[in-house]
Structure 1
Amino acid sequence: MDGAGSGVWNDGSVHVDDQVGQGVSADLAAFLRNADDDRPVKIVSSVCGECGGRVFVVLVDDVEGGAERVCTGCGGRAFIADSAEFWGEADPGEAGCPCGGGEFETAVTFSLAADGPVRWVTVGLRCEQDGLCGIYVDWKIDYGPTDHLLALA
């Protein structure tokens, strides 16, 4: 599987239980998987709930942990995972690529504990201008249940 479709990867570099959602580019999926620990992950593409857009300006708070995405197509805004709960305490900045680009394909990696709950959220971005991938923020989840987070990419 090339990473663009949904399903489970097992090419030797990923965990047998990893899942990569539809719409995540192969480059970004591979980058995110290689940057994570040995736990199984779910990698989910960010999609605008208003227009279906997949390119965003992303605000990140790397101190508290959290991110908000703004669709470049319609301006629709959405918080990633549980970011809304802590955003009032955040001091976010706009993510930027070293090339100067500021619009990104966005995907979220949910690292899972052995018994299934989300333990870490990692926001990965792929620059629309030069294709460079990077992790811009991640944070630990230390509560449960966590299933609701998987729908908040």
Structure 2
Amino acid sequence: MHADDQLGEGVPLELAVFLREAVDDRPVRIAPSVCEGCGGRVFFALVNASGAERECSACRTRAFIADSEEYWNEESWEDDEPGAAVCPCGSEEFEAAVAFTLGTDGSVRWVTVGLRCREDGFCGIYADWKIDYGPTDHLLAMV
């Protein structure tokens, strides 16, 4: 981990290490996805290159990650329509965490969505996109 990294409580260690290694050397804030409806931490996910939506496997509450909702429409998808995240083992249930790569001013510059398979522990980056506007503080709570 980078000296200035911030790791949220409840992020699976394997996923935190995987996310840290997947992003550049800038400081990151890694936060776990937690369902606001029931507190669940296992999700199904729809992803494309520039967005993600998760659905709690326990209560079926849905939520967008970061600013995905703003771009979650057919106009924005072009040739990149969202699809279900699937582990190489075939499972579709994941623990999720987001690495927010921070600029020198502390603003979010990249959003990287990592998923850890509940079946076999496989970790992968399922979505990753650049943030080119400000302010960005609101994104840090949208995990």
Q: TM-score, normalised by structure 1?
A: 0.89
Distance 2:53 2:26 in 1: 25
> 1:98-137 residue pairs with structure 2 within 5 A?
98-137=88-127
* Residues 1:61 and 2:51 aligned together: no
Distance 1:29 1:86 in 2: 26
1:42-80 CA distance string (max 9 Å, x none) = 000000000000000000012xx0000000000000000
Q: Larger RCO: Structure 1 or Structure 2 (Cα < 8 Å, ≥ 6 residues apart)?
A: 2
RMSD over aligned Cα, in angstroms? Answer: 0.6
Aligned match of 1:42: 29
Deviation, structure 1 residue 115:
1.0
SS at match of 1:30: helix
Distance 2:106 2:6 in 1: 13
Aligned match of 2:82: 92
1:93-118 CA distance string (max 9 Å, x none) = 00000000100000000000011000
Aligned match of 1:8: none
Aligned match of 1:80: 65
Distance 1:126 1:23 in 2: 13
1:106-146 CA distance string (max 9 Å, x none) = 00000000110000000000000000000011000000000
Runs of 4+ in 1 over 4 A off after TM superposition: none
* Residues 1:30 and 2:17 aligned together: yes
Distance 1:34 1:139 in 2: 16
**Structure 2, unaligned runs of 5 or more:** none
Aligned match of 2:142: 152
User: Which amino acid is 1:93 matched to?
Assistant: G
Distance 2:35 2:13 in 1: 20
Deviation, structure 1 residue 83:
0.2
Q: TM-score, normalised by structure 2?
A: 0.95
* Residues 1:21 and 2:8 aligned together: yes
What is the aligned-residue identity percentage? 66
